[in-house]
Structures are given as structure tokens and as C-alpha cells.
């Protein structure tokens, strides 16, 4: 169904607008209006009408000025403009046409005249657009053809070319269209041009080979097909030039092929359709012990071993006789009776009509390789057995590691509203979380150990053991400070791993965030080793949450070049505050359409978007987001996120 055409009417008098609009609407046209020149220009840019009716006499900006601006704007300059005016003097008409108007309609106008002029110019515009579309389509077709295309007259003057012609010959379009075919043809090949043209006129088309000359003088072997055509109402010729450089090279390759076959390190045999040998190369003679005179005319079965699998040969003949290539291995015998194993590719040879005329076998002796493969298979089985035992040990280590982590029930005892998202990269993880409660204080840790898998898991067990030892060694009435715990943990790790920043030592350790919640006065301490803490607090005025980013000290729990005591942060808590501790595994994961890191800013927004949801639902959203982000890519690190909400009260907690 054809879309309605749109007419923009620009007139400062409302009655004029209404009268013209009603007339055009009755002609099934869309009508938009504007009451000033400036408004008309903006409306034209916005709506892109098919025709503009423009009044000349308007305040501020008259129709002439509006038309000038329209025609100077590339976006709307092609829209036809008809002036509406009572000014019919010759000077005004000339000025309007010079500005780009296509017509004038005098006021007062006749309805029939208005309709006729509007429809005439709409039809003209429609025809012009269709013609431009057809020309663009035809040009696109020509430009996407792989062959060079020339349209020329009987004298060789070039009338049109496609894009590949410019690329192939090295000339610009403007340069080529000023040239003659003889300028881009080898002089020896151009001598018969006149007779060729007469032959085309007689037969309609011809095909021949020639050499085309590029701008830098290179000669390109080409197959040229010339056809008689009608171009813009005149007799012309369409020449399609196909680059046959590769075809010519192939002719040289064929010459070289026989040499390559003779000198090939592979055994090559050619047989007829019945398997009778027609050709063997020197390697065949060396491999089998037969010379060519002994086997040519013999059937290839003379090589067949009594131990060969008949099923393989049945499949071979069934495959190649159907026109397909067969690949496989079989056992043959030499002239002296010794057996050997060959890897073979056997294919049919077809003529130009696609009919099979013979078969070619390209074979390689693989007897020693098969012996080596057998040894590799035995070694692989042994390796798989050992690998299975190792995996079994790691899986048992996973059970032990999970047993060392707090259970969900244990967490909920101290933090009623919480979640833990723990996604190891391997079977066991280098990330761990830890929670203890002593007196009126709850200790929560989220840690990211150096490495992942088994090394990370060993480090995590070390971290858990030392944290337990540190907090239990404090006196019952002694105030525990988060930064001092990190200082002591670092001291223990360095001692255990014999780390000394003055010497070249292993810098394994961990990044860690520790917070201590005082459940009586609702305060929290936070200390971090390369691991931040996010606090989300509801803003009652905006009815949204604000995110507070508490930054850690830029050093790990291990030896460090700029080692100093860890800093403590004191935070006053409010009911329903949400705390998030996490490793960098989620933030640094590569994924998404652009194959980049998830990044901290996106992680923050993800938390803000979902922090009002129950903690269990937040965990599912985070997990779902992570796996959608990673898609088919590889997980690069362990992922740990611990989230919990501060309760109004913690009731009666059994201190220990």
C-alpha cells in the first residue's frame, strides 16, 4: 500500500492555511502547517515533507529568505518549493526561480489550479525519487560485481564503469571516463577492435582474451565479454572484463604438478576405474620394492595384505565410486612380503563434465608412527589414572574447605538477613569468608588469597586458622580493633611463609576486608587490605539508597615494599544498612558483547538497583548476572560476595 504524500503549507494567515489544508486533505494528502518562515524551515527539517507551499509576504522572514535557507540546507534542499503570492510581477517570479522554487501559484487561486500544480510536482518528485532509487540500485549491483565493467560506444569512448574498474586499473572514475579503451588496452590486442565491434553488432555478443593495462603499466590477463546494449537511448557496448591471472598461473601450476608428483615424498598411485595401476611415482617404487614396469597394468590388490580388513576396502570402493574422497589407514605388503601400514587419501579424478575417469591415491607409510602412538596411548591411560587420583584428592580437599567455612545456619545466627555468593574458578577456591562473635562484637571477613585452585585453597586454610588464633588470644575484656587484627595476621603470614621485604621472597598472601560490628551501640570498625567495603543506606528524602565506598589500604596481607600499619575506620550504623564485602573476581571478569571487564561502576549500579530486594533474591540476581556476562567465556578468578543487613535489634545472643 502506497504511503500518503505530505505537503507543508507555510503562511502567516490562519484562514489561508485552513482553506488550502482542507482542499489538499480532500485529495488524500497529509498536510502539516507552519505560520512563519522560521517555523516552516524547522518543520521541514523535522518532518521531511514531499512538497512545500510557501507564502512570500510574511513578517520577520519572508518567503524568499525562507526559500534561500531551505535550498542551502543539504538535508531539505531537494524538497520542491511552490510560492503562494499575490506578487505576479516578472521580477518577483525571476527572483523566486533563481532561489530554487519550482512554481508559483497566484492569490487568489483557483482550487483546480492548486490541485493540478500540487499533484504535478508531487508526481514529478515521486518519479525523480524512483529514478534515483533505480540508478542507485543499478550502481550498487555494478559495484558489487567482481568483474570490471565498461560501457562504451563504437569508437571505444568510455561512458560508464563500476567500482572494481577503478580499483583494478588504479585510475579514478573521473580519469577513466575521459579515456578511450585503447588507453587501457595492450596495443597489440587493440588492433582488432573495429572488427570485434562489427562482430558484436552481427552476433550480439563475443568473448575473447586480452591484456588490460593499469595506470602503473602492469598488464592484467583478462577474459572480455562484449554485448550490444541500449544505453540512455543510444547504441552502446557492455564489456565485462574478468581477471584471469589466476587461471594463467594455474596453467603454469599444471606444468609444475608433474614435477611435484615425481618428487613428492608421498607415495602416489593413479588407477583406472577398475583399480588397474596407470601411474606410480618414485617413492612408491622405493616403499614397495616394485618398479613401475612391474606394477603398471596390474591391479592395486597386489599390494593387499592377507591381514587387511576387508570391510575397510569395501567402504573405500563404495566411497570413491560415489565421487567422494576416502581417508583412512590400511595394511599393505611389500614385494618381499613384509607388511607395513599406510595412511591414505584416495579421491576420484573427474573430467570437465564431472564424470569419474580414474582414481588417485596419496599415501604415507606410518608403521613407526603407529608403534609410537600405541606407546602414547598406554602413557595416556596411566596419566588419566593419576589425574583421576589427583582430582579425587582435590574434591576431598573441597569437602574439607567447605567444612572450614561458616554454614548458612551459623551465619544466620549472627546476621539474620544475609547471603554469600561463592563461585570457585576451580574445584577448590582461593576466596574465603569467616565470621565469629565474641562478647558483643561480630567479626566478618571476606578474603581473596593469592592464586586460585589448590594453592589458593591452602592459603585460605592458613588465613582461617590464623584469624581464629588471633581473636581467641585476645583477653575477654580487651577491645579488638580491626586494623590491629590485620597487622597481626600479616605478621603471622609473613612468618609462616618466611617473607622478608629486604630479600627476594615469595609474596603470596591475601587481600582482605574485615569489619567488626558492635551490636550494642550499632557501630562498626572496618579495615581493608586492598579490599573495599560498600555500605548502602536508604535516603528517606529521595526514597533511594546511597552507596558509601570505604577504601582500603593499598597493601596486601603479605610482604610489601611500602609496608605500614593498617588504618581503622569507625562507622555509625543505622537499621537496614546493607554491607557488602567482596573479592575482585566479579568486577574483573571478562565478558559481555565487547569482551571487557565488568568494572566497579557497573557492580555498584547492580547493587543499587537490587538492594531493596530480599537478600536471597539479591544473591540469585548477582549469580544470574555473572553467568550471563561470562556467557561462553572462561571464568578467570574465584568470585566471593558477602552481603548482610543491619537488624533493628539482635535479641539475646549467647556470648562466647
Give pLDDT, residue 427. 83
* Nearest CA-CA partner of 11 in 109, 112, 126: 109
CA distances from 511 to 188, 426, 638 (A): 80, 19, 13
> Would you place residue 49 in the very low, low, confident or very high pLDDT band (cuts 50, 70, 90)?
very high
* Gap between the Cα atoms of 258 and 256, Å rounded: 6
* Nearest CA-CA partner of 52 in 39, 92, 61, 60: 39
- Locate the DSSP E strands across 81-218: 81-85, 103-106, 148-152, 158-161, 205-213
> Would you place residue 392 in the very low, low, confident or very high pLDDT band (cuts 50, 70, 90)?
low
| Three-class SS state of 383 | helix
Does pLDDT of 85 surpass 90? no
Model confidence, pTM? 0.46
Phi, then psi, of 120 in degrees rounded to 5: -60, -45
Give pLDDT, residue 428. 83
Give me the mean pLDDT over the 199-219 stretch: 89
Give pLDDT, residue 365. 87
Maximal CA-CA distance, the chain: 115
Give pLDDT, residue 245. 87
* Gap between the Cα atoms of 64 and 42, Å rounded: 16
Does pLDDT of 151 surpass 70? yes
Torsion of CA 398, 404, 409, 413, to 10 degrees: -160
Q: In this structure, are strands 267-271 and 51-55 parallel, antiparallel, or unpaired?
A: unpaired
- Residue 623 C-alpha cell reads as 549469580
Name the residue with cell 523566486.
Answer: 96
Residue of higher predicted confidence among 184 and 264: 184
Query: In which element (H, E) is residue 256 found?
Result: helix 245-263
- Residue 606 C-alpha cell reads as 547492580
Residue-wise pLDDT for 610-641, tens only, equals 999 999 999 999 999 999 999 999 999 999 99
Give pLDDT, residue 394. 62
* Nearest CA-CA partner of 645 in 600, 613, 601: 613
Residue-wise pLDDT for 163-188, tens only, equals 888 888 999 989 988 988 888 887 66
628 upstream amide cis, omega within 30 of 0: no
Name the residue with cell 522560521.
Answer: 38
**Comparing 89-103, 480-494, 559-573, which segment has the lowest mean pLDDT?**
89-103
- Locate the DSSP E strands across 415-459: 418-423, 431-438, 441-449
Residue-wise pLDDT for 509-532, tens only, equals 899 999 999 988 899 999 999 999
Name the DSSP letter for residue 561. Answer: T
Residue 550 pairs with which residues in a beta bridge?
533
Give me the mean pLDDT over the 191-211 stretch: 85
Q: What is the mean pLDDT of the chain?
A: 87
Give pLDDT, residue 532. 97
Q: Edge-to-edge strands of the sheet including 103-106?
A: 30-34, 6-10, 51-55, 81-85, 103-106
Q: Got the DSSP string for 489-542?
A: HHHHHHHHTT--TTS------EEEEEEEEETTTTEEEEEEEB--EEEEEEETTT
Long-range contacts of 410-415 (CB under 8 A, 24+ apart): 410/435, 411/435, 414/442, 414/650, 414/653, 415/442, 415/444, 415/644, 415/645, 415/647
- Residue 612 C-alpha cell reads as 531493596
Phi, then psi, of 540 in degrees rounded to 5: -65, -25
Name the DSSP letter for residue 218. Answer: -
Residue-wise pLDDT for 556-568, tens only, equals 999 988 899 999 9
* Gap between the Cα atoms of 107 and 53, Å rounded: 12
Q: In this structure, are strands 103-106 and 148-152 parallel, antiparallel, or unpaired?
A: unpaired
* Gap between the Cα atoms of 321 and 478, Å rounded: 91
CB 288 within 8 A of CB 303: yes
Amino acid at each position: 500500500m502506497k504511503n500518503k504524500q505530505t505537503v507543508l503549507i507555510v503562511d502567516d494567515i490562519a484562514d489561508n492555511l485552513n482553506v488550502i489544508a482542507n482542499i489538499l486533505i480532500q485529495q488524500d494528502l497529509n498536510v502539516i502547517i507552519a505560520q512563519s518562515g522560521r517555523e516552516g524551515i524547522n518543520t521541514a527539517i523535522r518532518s521531511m515533507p514531499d512538497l512545500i507551499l510557501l507564502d512570500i509576504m510574511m513578517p520577520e522572514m519572508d518567503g524568499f529568505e525562507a526559500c534561500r535557507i531551505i535550498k542551502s540546507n543539504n538535508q531539505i534542499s531537494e524538497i520542491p518549493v511552490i510560492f503562494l503570492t499575490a506578487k505576479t510581477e516578472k521580477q518577483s517570479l525571476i527572483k523566486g526561480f533563481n532561489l530554487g522554487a519550482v512554481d508559483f501559484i497566484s492569490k487568489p487561486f483557483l482550487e483546480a489550479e492548486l490541485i493540478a500544480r500540487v499533484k504535478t510536482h508531487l508526481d514529478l518528485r515521486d518519479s525523480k525519487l524512483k529514478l534515483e532509487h533505480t540508478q542507485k540500485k543499478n550502481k550498487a549491483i555494478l559495484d558489487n560485481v567482481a568483474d570490471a565493467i565498461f560501457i562504451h560506444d563504437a569508437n571505444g569512448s568510455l561512458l560508464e564503469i563500476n567500482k572494481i574498474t577503478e580499483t583494478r586499473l588504479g585510475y579514478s572514475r573521473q580519469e577513466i571516463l575521459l579515456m578511450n579503451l585503447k588507453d587501457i588496452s595492450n596495443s597489440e590486442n587493440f588492433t582488432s577492435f573495429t572488427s570485434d565491434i562489427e562482430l558484436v553488432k552481427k552476433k550480439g555478443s563475443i568473448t575473447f582474451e586480452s591484456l588490460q593495462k593499469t595506470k602503473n603499466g602492469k598488464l592484467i590477463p583478462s577474459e572480455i565479454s562484449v554485448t550490444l546494449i541500449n544505453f540512455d537511448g543510444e547504441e552502446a557496448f557492455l564489456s565485462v572484463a574478468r581477471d584471469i591471472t589466476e587461471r594463467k598461473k594455474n596453467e603454469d601450476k599444471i606444468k609444475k604438478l608433474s614435477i611435484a608428483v615425481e618428487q613428492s615424498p608421498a607415495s602416489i598411485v593413479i588407477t583406472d576405474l577398475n583399480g588397474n595401476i596407470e601411474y606410480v611415482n618414485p617413492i612408491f617404487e622405493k616403499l614397495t620394492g616394485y618398479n613401475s614396469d612391474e606394477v603398471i597394468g596390474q591391479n592395486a590388490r597386489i599390494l593387499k595384505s592377507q591381514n587387511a580388513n576387508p570391510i575397510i576396502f569395501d567402504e573405500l570402493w563404495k566411497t570413491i565410486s560415489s565421487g567422494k574422497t576416502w581417508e583412512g589407514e590400511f595394511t599393505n605388503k611389500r614385494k618381499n612380503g613384509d607388511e607395513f601400514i599406510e595412511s591414505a587419501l584416495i579421491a576420484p579424478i573427474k573430467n570437465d563434465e564431472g564424470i569419474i575417469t580414474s582414481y588417485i591415491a596419496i599415501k604415507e607409510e606410518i608403521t613407526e608412527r603407529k608403534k609410537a602412538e600405541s606407546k602414547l596411548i598406554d602413557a595416556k591411560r596411566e596419566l588419566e589414572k593419576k589425574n583421576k587420583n589427583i582430582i579425587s584428592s582435590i574434591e576431598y580437599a573441597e569437602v574439607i574447605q567447605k567444612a572450614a567455612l561458616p554454614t548458612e545456619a551459623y551465619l544466620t545466627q549472627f546476621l539474620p538477613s544475609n547471603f554469600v555468593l561463592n563461585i570457585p574458578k576451580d574445584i577448590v577456591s582461593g576466596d574465603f569468608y569467616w565470621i565469629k562473635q565474641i562478647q558483643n562484637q561480630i567479626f566478618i571477613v571476606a578474603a581473596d588469597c593469592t592464586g586460585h585452585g589448590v594453592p589458593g585453597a591452602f592459603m585460605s586454610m592458613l588465613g582461617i586458622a590464623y584469624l581464629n588464633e588471633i581473636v581467641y588470644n585476645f583477653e575477654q575484656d580487651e577491645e579488638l580493633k580491626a586494623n590491629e587484627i590485620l597487622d597481626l595476621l600479616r605478621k603471622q603470614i609473613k612468618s609462616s611463609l618466611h617473607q622478608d621485604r629486604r630479600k627476594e621472597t615469595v609474596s603470596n598472601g591475601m587481600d582482605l576486608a574485615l569489619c567488626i560490628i558492635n551490636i550494642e551501640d550499632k557501630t562498626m570498625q572496618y579495615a581493608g587490605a586492598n579490599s573495599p567495603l560498600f555500605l548502602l543506606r536508604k535516603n528517606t528524602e529521595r526514597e533511594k539508597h546511597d552507596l558509601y565506598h570505604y577504601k582500603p589500604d593499598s597493601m596486601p596481607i603479605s610482604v610489601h615494599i611500602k609496608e605500614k600499619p593498617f588504618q581503622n575506620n569507625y562507622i555509625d550504623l543505622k537499621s537496614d544498612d546493607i554491607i557488602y564485602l567482596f573479592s575482585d573476581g566479579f568486577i574483573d571478569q571478562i565478558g559481555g558483547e565487547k569482551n571487557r571487564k565488568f568494572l566497579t561502576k557497573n557492580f555498584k549500579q547492580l547493587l543499587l538497583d537490587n538492594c531493596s530486594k530480599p537478600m536471597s533474591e539479591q544473591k540469585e540476581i548477582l549469580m544470574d548476572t555473572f553467568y550471563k556476562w561470562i556467557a561462553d567465556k572462561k571464568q578467570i578468578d574465584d568470585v566471593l560476595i558477602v552481603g548482610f543487613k543491619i537488624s533493628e535489634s539482635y535479641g539475646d545472643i549467647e556470648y562466647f
